[in-house]
Amino acid sequence: MIEPIFASWKHVFKLDPDREINDEALDAVCMSGTDAIMVGGSSGVTFDNTVDLLSRIRRYEVPCALEVTSEEAAVPGFDYYLIPMVLNSRDPQWLVGRQVEAIRQFGSYIPWENTFAEGYIILNADAEAARRSDADARLDDLSVLAYVRLADRLMRMPIVYLEYSGRFGNMGLVRRARSLLTQGRLFYGGGIDSAEKAGEAAAAADTVIVGNIIYSDLAAALKTVQAVKQREN
């Protein structure tokens, strides 16, 4: 089997179409040396604000993936499509329900060879994504690791995403999760706001996602790229 391109991604910036970013900041993000830009957000993502952001990112060579969080915002023209499936949601609509509706709707327009499932395990109960998807985020470590094995061993998911959006997570747990994976790649995101935290996360996960800090401290966000790339894990 050919390895998917994201197997080489160590650092990814996540840009939210619902938030403002000026041209200078976008230039810095796209030219930072990050491996990819992921476009997505848990609320306020529309067709128009997604097209707008994509067209601005397309001035650069950096690969660009859409994390599809609503059917209305499934915009053509991205390099990759990542489909969140919230494994620890209490409501099956966020595990498979909305995805089935979207597959019915888009049918043969879905570029399957560039479309991948993300097995989300949301671990910050205060995150907007946890509220929206009704995630059971207060899991003990053994349960988290059981979800990781479920995603990797039973479901053969290509991406297992430990999501702490807005809060820096437990790197010991992230490291243990990664050590269990046999075929999937461990994505970690949440609360990375310095080179130091980026380095710690890079030592624990396969791929590190940096989001909110782009909007509050761009200089700190940019420093995370080198911190991740320097780290051998």
Ligand X SMILES: O=P(O)(O)OC[C@@H](O)CO
Ligand Y SMILES: CC(C)=CCC/C(C)=C/CC/C(C)=C/CC/C(C)=C/CC/C(C)=C/CC/C(C)=C/CC/C(C)=C/COP(=O)(O)OP(=O)(O)O
Q: Which of 121, 129, 186, 202 binds ligand Y (CB under 6 A)?
A: 129
Considering the rule CB under 6 A, would residue 98 count as an interface residue with ligand Y? yes
Query: What single letter denotes the amino acid at residue 128?
Result: E
**Residue 17 or 211 with smaller CB distance to ligand X:** 211
Q: How far is the CB of 209 from Mg ion (least distance, A)?
A: 10
Considering the rule CB under 5 A, would residue 211 count as an interface residue with Mg ion? yes
Contact yes or no for 37/56 (Cβ under 8 A): no
Q: How far is the CB of 181 from ligand X (least distance, A)?
A: 18
Q: How far is the CB of 112 from ligand Y (least distance, A)?
A: 9
**Residue 184 or 211 with smaller CB distance to Mg ion:** 211
Contact yes or no for 75/51 (Cβ under 8 A): yes
Separation of alpha carbons 197 and 157, rounded Å: 26
Q: What track of x and - describes contact with ligand X for positions 177 through 216 (by CB under 6 A)? A: ------------xxxx----------------xxxxx---
Residue 232's Cβ-count burial label (10 Å; 0-12, 13-18, 19+) is: exposed
Considering the rule CB under 6 A, would residue 118 count as an interface residue with ligand X? no
Residues in 77-106 at the binding interface with ligand X, rule: CB under 6 A: none
Q: How far is the CB of 167 from ligand X (least distance, A)?
A: 7
Residue 205 interacting partner from Mg ion, ligand X, ligand Y, none (CB closer than 5 to 8 Å by kind): none
Largest CA distance in the chain: 45
**Nearest residue by C-beta to ligand X?**
189
Annotated binding site for Mg(2+): 16, 42
